[in-house]
Amino acid sequence: MSGEAKTAAIQNLGCSKNQIDGERVMALFASNGYDITEEFFLADTIVVNTCAFIREAQEEAIDTVLEMAALRKAGRCRTLIVSGCFSERYRDKVKRDFPEVDVWVGVNDWEAVISSLIQKNSLTDNSCDTASTLPSSPRNTFIAADFKRILSEPVSTQHIKIAEGCSHKCTFCVIPSIRGKFRSRSEESIIQEAKWLYEQGVRELILVAQDTTFYGRDIKTNLARLLESLLKNTKFPWIRMMYLYPQLIGSDLLKLIASEPRLCPYFDIPLQHISDTILTAMNRSPLSGGIRQLIDTIRDTVDNVTLRTSFIIGFPGETAKEFDELCRFVQSTRFDKLGVFPFSPEEGTPAHSMRPRPRAVTVQMRCDELMDIQQEISREILENKVGNQVQVIIDRISDDPDFSYEGRTMGDAPEIDGRAFIQAGKFEIGDIVAGKIIGAGDYDIYVDTQTSRRRDKI
């Protein structure tokens, strides 16, 4: 390979938090002279950054590793690296099953291992092997001084990880065993990265952690104070939060969101269920009474609020009674956004051995039924907004020939929520534009943009 530029490519799987880790992996390669490519067939080094949260994610990880292993044989690739949660959880068990994989790294040791291999030139001379990987370390690599990332498109909307790990003990979840206990980043490091992101052209900053509301409890601060610091020290037009734990949403946070127009009035609160029987078995809090009171408080405090939640269907012990209670709750509460997930029994969690479990076909029918209910609710909510004025961030040029652009309102998070389709206008990706809702579908809206626009190059 003498005289040729070294190239690296990554396949990111899983959540936005894992995406950030993958972007940092690519920045590490770029800082060591590698060209970053999206063409896996042309890459000397391929990284598969995996997820392992539920069974489907594990299956996707395996399929992707096998796909890239084929390129390891047929393409230019000399080194195949598997990183992320699947590698952290299973690498000691599956190394023998994937001889094509050269290096397995976990969620904490990837930076040390990959840096060492790059420095030794082991990634391009066929001298690296899985024996060179280090045992996983509890060190918070994501808080490293060099937080630079190769940002994914669109650059205008980016996530920032404010913590690592989780200290909750939900009976169905493997995250604490993979990522460790909750550790907050310092406010200083978050502000430093946020300023860098703004300089790259980011206009919508999305705060993420396993539980965003838990931020600061281990370093004597809290999420509201962090938001106040971000508002004071940065110029993002939109700041959004994801993954809010219901028990920890306090009055200080609600009042701040209600009073600050740059904070999206958007609450992503995974409730998981409404039956006290199921919530208790999940080791979740608050129970149904506290959940209903929280929703009322949010709606009473924050104007034009958007509520998103998700539920696990088919948790052990869920009978028709508990599911009917959940359906009635969804119908009466009328969430703006809602997702459902079939229960995944994860080895090593208390819920794995819980019984009885509903049959798989029953679980799927329940998932479909609840989403049918939500589809109707969503359409009614959006149809009632026709004629309203909205602000839309432009995400991309539309693939639909009938429209020019696609974007989102403050009430829509990227990837998981609906889109705003814009028929005409001349905008740039990342522009925040004013418009009027002229139509609605089940989850998407159609917006007529006004002649004036806000470009937010503050």
Indicate whether 137 belongs to any domain: no
| 184 and 216 Cβ atoms separated by less than 8 Å | yes
Indicate whether 49 belongs to any domain: yes
DSSP class of residue 341 equals: E
pLDDT at 140: 47
409-412, Cβ contacts within 8 angstroms, sequence gap of 24 or more: 409/445, 410/238, 410/240, 410/264, 410/265, 410/266, 410/306, 411/264, 411/265, 411/266, 411/304, 411/306, 411/336, 412/306, 412/337
State how beta strands 157-161 and 163-164 pair: unpaired
pLDDT at 113: 87
Whether residues 190 and 95 fall in one domain: no
Whether residues 159 and 105 fall in one domain: no
Note the maximum CA span of the chain: 68
Whether residues 103 and 150 fall in one domain: no
Question: What domain range is 105 assigned to?
Answer: 7-132
Q: How far apart are CA 329 and CA 322, in angstroms?
A: 11
> pLDDT for 213-244, tens place per residue?
999 999 999 999 999 999 999 999 999 999 99
pLDDT at 361: 98
Whether residues 301 and 415 fall in one domain: no
Q: How far apart are CA 322 and CA 357, in angstroms?
A: 13
pLDDT at 146: 62
Q: How far apart are CA 246 and CA 282, in angstroms?
A: 14
Whether residues 374 and 413 fall in one domain: no
Whether residues 355 and 438 fall in one domain: no
Residues in the chain, overall count: 458
Give residue 411's identity as a one-letter amino acid code. G
Whether residues 412 and 426 fall in one domain: yes
Question: How many other β-carbons are positioned within 10 Å of the β-carbon of residue 125?
Answer: 11
Indicate whether 179 belongs to any domain: yes
Grouping H, G, I as helix, E, B as strand and the rest as coil, residue 331 is helix
Whether residues 60 and 163 fall in one domain: no
Torsion on CA atoms 407, 411, 414, 419, rounded to nearest 10: -40
State how beta strands 103-104 and 7-12 pair: unpaired
Residue 381's contacts (CB-CB under 8 Å, 6 or more residues apart) are 334, 336
pLDDT at 116: 87
Residue 362's contacts (CB-CB under 8 Å, 6 or more residues apart) are 314
| Helix pair angle (223-233, 187-199), 10° resolution | 40
Whether residues 255 and 362 fall in one domain: yes
Indicate whether 1 belongs to any domain: no
Indicate whether 60 belongs to any domain: yes
Whether residues 168 and 119 fall in one domain: no
pLDDT at 437: 97
Q: How far apart are CA 276 and CA 443, in angstroms?
A: 30
Q: How far apart are CA 458 and CA 448, in angstroms?
A: 25
Residue 345's contacts (CB-CB under 8 Å, 6 or more residues apart) are 351, 352, 357
Grouping H, G, I as helix, E, B as strand and the rest as coil, residue 55 is helix
Question: How many other β-carbons are positioned within 10 Å of the β-carbon of residue 19?
Answer: 21
Residue where one domain finishes, among candidates 132, 161, 185: 132
Residue where one domain finishes, among candidates 73, 101, 132: 132
**Taking the model in full, what pTM does it have?**
0.92
pLDDT at 125: 52
Indicate whether 403 belongs to any domain: yes
Whether residues 148 and 119 fall in one domain: no
The CATH number assigned to the domain holding 22 equals 3.40.50.12160
423-to-74, 97, 182 alpha-carbon distances in Å: 44, 51, 45
Indicate whether 166 belongs to any domain: yes
Q: How far apart are CA 204 and CA 187, in angstroms?
A: 19
Whether residues 42 and 93 fall in one domain: yes
State how beta strands 337-342 and 389-397 pair: unpaired
- Number of domains, the chain: 3
| 238 and 208 Cβ atoms separated by less than 8 Å | no
Residues of the chain with pLDDT under 50: 1-2, 127, 130-142, 144, 451-455, 457-458
456-to-256, 371, 392, 394 alpha-carbon distances in Å: 22, 37, 12, 12
Residue where one domain finishes, among candidates 350, 383, 416: 383
- Tell me the torsion sign for CA atoms 80, 85, 91, 93: negative
Q: How far apart are CA 117 and CA 215, in angstroms?
A: 34
Cis peptide before 350 (omega within 30 of 0): no
Q: Hunting for tokens 């992320």 — which residue is that?
A: 84
Indicate whether 422 belongs to any domain: yes
